[in-house]
Amino acid sequence: MSIEVIVFDLGKVIFDFDISKLSNDLSRSSTKTYYDINNILSNHWEIVAQYEKGQISSKLFYEKVTDLLGLTMPYDKFCDSWNNIFIPFNDVINFLGLLSKKYKLSLLSNTNDLHFEFLKNKYPQVFQYFTNYHLSYKMNARKPDNEIYQKVIDFYDIEPNKIFFTDDLAINVETAKKLKISAFKFEGLLKLKQDLTLSGVKY
């Protein structure tokens, strides 16, 4: 086996994110408290899932969330709050630059239109390292559903074990493994390097 493609998750692997910051921002334009908002978002996560599967537009997502949380926030301000939650993992990003010199790098992310376009525009130096973006909202499927992994396998048309995949969520890794992808749980840069070496990746 030799790895031909290295596939990264985006959130909590390349960028950290802070949902509490979003709840805090939204609470300033809502009759509901920070804790209410946290609670409601947790209990209505299916709206985010619909958005991440590309089943609803950004505008419709905004309208649904506005309804749910009683927001008085205009769309552009909502977009700012929705996007302003990310912090880059600079050690991982620096390593991507090294890795991309020898390997084809790709993303496989449960994400949405607003988040992805925001990150790509704000951090073009990060996204230049990736050859392909496999994005849930464009693929109409989310991890850990088998469908999204199968689409990635079909896209590269290689044996699944030649695809290295890392993700911070164990459930996403386990599903990938069932489809014979060389998948590893992301637990920081040191472990990522160990997993790559274990898989025969030389950088």
Would you kindly state where each structural domain of the chain is located, as residue ranges? 5-16+88-198, 19-83
What is 19-83's CATH topology?
DNA polymerase; domain 1 (1.10.150)
- Domains 5-16+88-198 and 19-83 in one fold: no
Q: What is the pLDDT along the chain (203 residues), one digit of tens a residue?
A: 699 999 999 999 999 999 899 999 999 999 899 988 888 877 778 999 999 999 999 999 999 999 999 999 999 999 999 999 999 999 999 999 999 999 999 999 999 999 999 999 999 999 999 999 999 999 999 999 999 999 999 999 999 999 999 999 999 999 999 999 999 999 999 999 999 999 999 99
Alpha helices in the chain (DSSP H): 19-27, 34-43, 45-52, 58-69, 75-83, 90-99, 113-122, 124-127, 136-139, 146-156, 170-178, 189-198
Q: What is the pTM of this model?
A: 0.95
**For the domain bounded by 5-16+88-198, which CATH number is listed?**
3.40.50.1000
